[in-house]
């Protein structure tokens, strides 16, 4: 449930607060009251309202001074302030705006005007909050990406240094070269995810669809991940249609989807297990691909969340999780007019399914040119 909108009314006259409360009775705001600027500043340290209605004419500390103090405070300066004043000269209004006020309303307060100005200021506050949330999200993402890029890069550098050792056996050299290749592919995969997602989000990525043989694409994926799976004692199995099936896809982007799904399955599958890449044409204009593993699985409450950016679902110790791979898959699949889902693989594991309705067609043997 969303947090109720909080409004702080600062006015030395309780009757004025009662008027404001009555005018906003049906707006479902959470309204607080402070009888002076000093009391309001004391309460601001424990309560940050979404909006402040501030009376100008008050004893001890007038509204202009209170406004200056709030706007000079780093943690409070983003809160919109509407000055409530009986003053109406240009100089007085200019003084309020110069103090940092975002808007003003004249006494006696009109209900329609008050509600309209509050809604206007709350829209600005909402935009600010969304921007801050995005900034924090980007900061978290950058920290996460830097951390996850460091791990394969460290492995690459270490293996390259080991290759300098004299009298290193050919078998050890090949092993270290394999680790360098795997680490490089991991780096390339994460960087590609970031670039592709940025282009898709800003509408700069165009789909270059062409007829693709699903069998050949899936076979290529299994071949490329065979080494990584073997290092984890995992067997890759292909349950694929006969060669010659044709489906209209952006082969580069869709190949990245399959790479991400297989890579994730390897990450979360236990040693001495198997992963199945299953593909078929259930209908003439449809294609269905499944990646089936026996790993940790995905709980029901996380099944939608894991396809969102930077959401990583269950945190698993020792496994790089940026929260980008599945979000990228979802964006590409939906750009093709399809959907991606996940379900349990009883008794353990997960089944990721990609279904696309497109101009898929199965090419008959007579159509294949030799």
Residue 349 belongs to domain with CATH number: 3.30.565.10
- Verify that 73 and 155 share a domain, yes or no: no
**One domain, residues 257 and 158:** no
The domain boundary residue, chosen from 109, 127, 159: 109
Rg, Å, the chain Cα set: 30
Q: What is the pLDDT of residue 81?
A: 94
pLDDT recorded at residue 83: 92
Confidence grade of residue 11 (pLDDT, cut at 50, 70, 90)? very high
Domain stop point among 201, 231, 252: 201
Is residue 38 in a domain?
A: yes
The CA–CA distances, whole Å, from 110 to 10, 117, 370 equal: 18, 11, 83
On whether residue 91 sits in a domain, the answer given is: yes
Alpha-helical (H) ranges within the chain are 14-23, 37-44, 63-71, 90-98, 111-162, 170-201, 214-224, 226-231, 251-268, 325-335
Per-residue pLDDT at 312 exceeds 60: no
pLDDT tens-digit series, residues 95-128: 888 999 999 898 888 999 999 999 999 999 989 8
pLDDT at residue 147, rounded to an integer = 61
Q: Are residues 214 and 348 in the same domain?
A: yes
Report the CATH number that the domain containing residue 155 is assigned in CATH: 1.10.287.130
Q: What pLDDT, in 10s, does the model give residues 42-66?
A: 888 788 899 999 999 898 899 999 9
In-domain check, residue 117: no
Question: In this structure, what are the phi and psi dihedrals at residue 58, rounded to the nearest 5 degrees?
Answer: -140, 150
Q: How many domains would you assign to the chain?
A: 3
Q: Are residues 242 and 353 in the same domain?
A: yes
In a domain, 118, yes or no: no
Report the CATH number that the domain containing residue 34 is assigned in CATH.
3.40.50.2300
Same domain, 322 and 264: yes
* Co-location of 234 and 281 in the same domain: yes
Is 123 part of any domain?
no
Residues 174-221 pLDDT 10s: 777 877 887 787 777 667 666 665 665 565 557 788 888 999 999 999
Last residue of one domain, picked from the residues 201, 225, 240:
201
Q: Give the model's pLDDT for residue 197.
A: 59
pLDDT computed for residue 365 by the predictor: 34
Per DSSP, what are the bridge partners of residue 343? 351
Q: Which residue has the higher pLDDT, 238 or 302?
A: 238
Mean pLDDT of 125-137: 82
Confidence category of residue 363, pLDDT binned at 50, 70, 90:
very low
Quick one: pLDDT at residue 369?
Answer: 35
Q: Are residues 221 and 296 in the same domain?
A: yes
Is residue 170 domain-shared with residue 23, that is, in the same domain? no
Exposure b/e, 119-152, CB count within 10 A at least 16 = b: eebbeebeeeeeeeeeeeeeeebeebbeebbeeb
**Which pLDDT band, with edges at 50, 70 and 90, does 151 fall under?**
low
- The average pLDDT across 130-158 equals 71
Give 218-263 pLDDT, tens digit per residue: 999 999 888 889 888 999 999 999 998 888 888 888 888 898 899 8
More confident residue, 98 or 136: 98
How close are the terminal C-alpha atoms of the chain, in Å? 63
Q: Same domain for 149 and 226?
A: no
Whether 367 shows a pLDDT value over 60: the answer reads no
Considering the domain architecture, whether residues 166 and 288 belong to the same structural domain is answered as no
The predicted model gives 126-155 an average pLDDT of 73
Residue 169 shares a structural domain with residue 96: no
pLDDT of residue 346: 80
- Segment of 133-147, 182-196, 230-244, 355-369 carrying the highest mean pLDDT: 230-244
Tell me if 125 is assigned to some domain: no
Reduced to 3 states, what is the DSSP secondary structure of residue 283? coil
**pLDDT score of 328:** 78
Choice between 151 and 286, residue whose per-residue pLDDT is larger: 286
Residue 13 sits in which domain range?
6-109
* Averaged pLDDT of the chain: 81
Same structural domain for residues 307 and 235? yes
Does any domain span residue 129?
A: no
The per-residue pLDDT for 321 is: 44
Query: Looking at the domain assignment, is residue 127 inside a domain?
Result: no
Model pLDDT, residue 69? 93
- Reduced to 3 states (helix: H, G, I; strand: E, B; else coil), residue 319 is coil
Residue predicted with more confidence, 107 or 284: 107
């Amino acid at each position: 449930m969303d947090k109720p909108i909080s409004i702080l009314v600062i006015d030395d006259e309780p009757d004025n607060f009662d008027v404001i409360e009555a005018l906003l009775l049906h707006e479902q705001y959470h309204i607080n009251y402070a009888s002076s600027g000093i009391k309001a500043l004391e309460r601001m340290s424990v309560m940050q309202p979404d909006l402040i209605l501030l009376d100008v004419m008050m004893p001890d500390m007038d509204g202009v001074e209170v406004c200056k103090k709030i706007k000079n405070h780093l943690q409070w300066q983003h809160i919109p302030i509407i000055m409530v004043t009986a003053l109406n000269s240009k100089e007085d209004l200019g003084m309020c705006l110069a103090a940092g006020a975002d808007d003003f309303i004249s006494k006696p307060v009109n209900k329609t005007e008050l509600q309209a100005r509050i809604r206007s200021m709350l829209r600005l506050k909402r935009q600010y909050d969304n921007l801050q949330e995005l900034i924090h999200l980007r900061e978290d993402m950058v920290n996460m990406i830097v951390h996850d890029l460091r791990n394969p890069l460290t492995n690459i550098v270490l293996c390259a240094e080991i290759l300098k050792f004299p009298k290193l056996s050919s078998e050890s050299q090949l092993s270290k070269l394999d680790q360098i290749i795997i680490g490089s592919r991991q780096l390339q995969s994460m960087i590609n995810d970031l670039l592709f997602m940025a282009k898709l989000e800003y509408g700069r990525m165009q789909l270059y669809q062409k007829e693709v043989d699903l069998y050949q694409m899936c076979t290529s994926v299994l071949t490329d991940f065979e080494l990584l799976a073997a290092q984890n004692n995992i067997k890759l199995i292909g349950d694929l249609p006969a060669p010659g099936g044709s489906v209209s896809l952006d082969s580069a982007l869709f190949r990245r989807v399959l790479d991400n799904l297989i890579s994730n399955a390897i990450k979360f599958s236990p040693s001495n297990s198997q992963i199945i890449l299953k593909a078929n044409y259930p209908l003439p204009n449809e294609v269905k691909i499944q990646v089936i593993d026996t790993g940790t699985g995905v709980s029901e409450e996380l099944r939608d969340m894991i396809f969102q950016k930077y959401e990583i679902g269950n945190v698993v110790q020792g496994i790089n999780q940026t929260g980008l791979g599945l979000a990228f898959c979802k964006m590409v699949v939906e750009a093709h007019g399809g959907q991606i889902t996940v379900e349990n693989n009883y008794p353990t594991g997960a089944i990721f399914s990609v279904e696309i309705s497109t101009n898929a067609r199965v090419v008959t043997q007579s159509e294949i040119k030799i």
